[in-house]
């Protein structure tokens, strides 16, 4: 098998493309021939040696993948079956998807929905799965399209891009917050009605501001999330799933107790296996065919280190697809 391997050398993390013996793989009862993976923000952190992502070395990064069952010791899966994987600490504590093959516990796998190809599943990937969970959280909080506009932060990234498409498909009016003015046309093309500069939200937040939004999906955290909370209308809700802008929340209890605002954390890593197929079926139903053309770029395994640097430097728009079958 060929893989991107992260190795610790003194105080430095070194990424290399290596040919590995299959007996080096970690434990698991299913072997998958990987066709597609992706580059996510967490992968970029790991590849660039940022602290707090990878727990042990050597490690194969890649927090998701899709592929075909090569061998299975679990009766739920059979040779030749198409499957996908997101989360479960893969790429952090267990070898991940930036390889031509993976050996994983069967519980980590989800059967591929009939409406999706292996490639389409990874255009959606962890980012799309997380975005769907965020949209579900707003719906569960009673935020319907007639309540008002929904604001999405980190709109040019993977989660933000998919969230805009999903919300638009469901009839919501979406406002995008982005730090990249050059992406305005792209954001409008996927459904955003308005685009606001991220610089408007990086200052320390007031306890309360003008009520502007029925709800929000926040992928950034920090001051940006605090500013959004201060602008959420009475009975509104925020689904928060990211911390690229910081893990602290410099706000007060005032939005929660004076405006009845709900802050819902969204985790996609350990989302229950029994519920995952339903989420994927909904993604397949809601996303238009144009989605798969608008928000993805395709690279090879050999380009993944270069693109991981670009992703951390905010130079990548939408989803980055890694073709593990490319020659």
Q: Specify the CATH superfamily of domain 125-265.
A: NAD(P)-binding Rossmann-like Domain (3.40.50.720)
Read off the tokens for 188: 């409008």
Give the model's pLDDT for residue 296. 66
- Weakest-pLDDT range from 98-112, 220-234, 246-260, 310-324: 310-324
Domain limits, the chain: 2-112+295-323, 125-265
How many whole angstroms separate alpha carbon 139 and alpha carbon 162?
16
Full-model pTM: 0.91
Do β-strands 2-9 and 12-19 pair in parallel, antiparallel, or remain unpaired?
antiparallel
**What average pLDDT score do residues 289-316 get?**
87
Count of other CB atoms within 10 angstroms of residue 135:
27
282 band by pLDDT with thresholds 50, 70 and 90: very high
Give the model's pLDDT for residue 179. 86
Q: Which among 295, 288, 291 has a CA at the least distance from the CA of 316? A: 295
- pLDDT of 143 > 80? The answer is yes
Read off the tokens for 278: 């339903």
How many whole angstroms separate alpha carbon 143 and alpha carbon 137?
9
**What average pLDDT score do residues 301-318 get?**
88
**What average pLDDT score do residues 55-77 get?**
95
- pLDDT of 194 > 70? The answer is yes
Give the model's pLDDT for residue 10. 79
The answer regarding whether domain 2-112+295-323 maps to CATH 3.90.180.10 reads yes
- pLDDT of 295 > 70? The answer is no
Cβ neighbours of residue 224 under 8 Å, at least 6 residues apart?
153, 177, 198, 201, 202, 218, 245
How many whole angstroms separate alpha carbon 32 and alpha carbon 165?
30
């Amino acid at each position: 098998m060929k893989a991107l391997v992260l190795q610790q050398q003194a105080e430095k993390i070194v990424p290399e493309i290596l040919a590995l013996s299959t007996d080096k793989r970690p434990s698991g009862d299913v072997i998958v021939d990987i066709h597609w993976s992706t580059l996510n923000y967490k992968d970029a952190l790991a590849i660039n040696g940022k602290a707090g992502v990878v727990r042990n070395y050597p490690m194969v990064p890649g927090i998701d993948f899709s592929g075909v069952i090569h061998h299975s010791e679990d009766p739920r899966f059979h040779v030749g079956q198409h499957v996908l994987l997101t989360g479960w600490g893969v790429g952090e504590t267990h070898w991940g998807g930036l390889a031509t093959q993976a050996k994983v516990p069967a519980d980590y796998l989800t059967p591929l929905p009939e409406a999706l190809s292996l490639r389409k599943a990874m255009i959606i990937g962890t980012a799309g799965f997380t975005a769907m969970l965020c949209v579900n959280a707003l719906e569960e909080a009673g935020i319907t399209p007639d309540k008002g506009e929904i604001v999405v932060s980190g709109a040019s990234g993977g989660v933000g891009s998919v969230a805009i498409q999903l919300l638009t498909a469901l009839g919501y009016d979406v406002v995008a917050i982005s730090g990249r003015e050059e992406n305005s046309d792209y954001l409008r093309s996927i459904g955003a009605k308005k685009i606001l500069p991220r610089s408007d939200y990086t200052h320390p937040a007031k306890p309360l501001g003008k009520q502007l939004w029925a709800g929000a999906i926040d992928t950034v955290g920090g001051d940006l999330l605090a500013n959004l909370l201060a602008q959420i209308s009475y009975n509104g809700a925020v689904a928060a799933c990211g911390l690229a802008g910081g893990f602290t929340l410099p706000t007060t209890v005032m939005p929660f107790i004076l405006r009845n605002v709900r802050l819902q954390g969204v985790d996609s890593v350990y989302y229950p296996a029994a519920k995952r197929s339903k989420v994927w079926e909904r993604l397949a139903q809601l996303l238009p065919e144009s989605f798969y053309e608008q928000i993805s770029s395709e690279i090879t395994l050999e380009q993944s280190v270069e693109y991981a640097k670009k992703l951390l430097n905010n130079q990548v728009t939408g989803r980055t697809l890694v073709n593990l079958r490319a020659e």
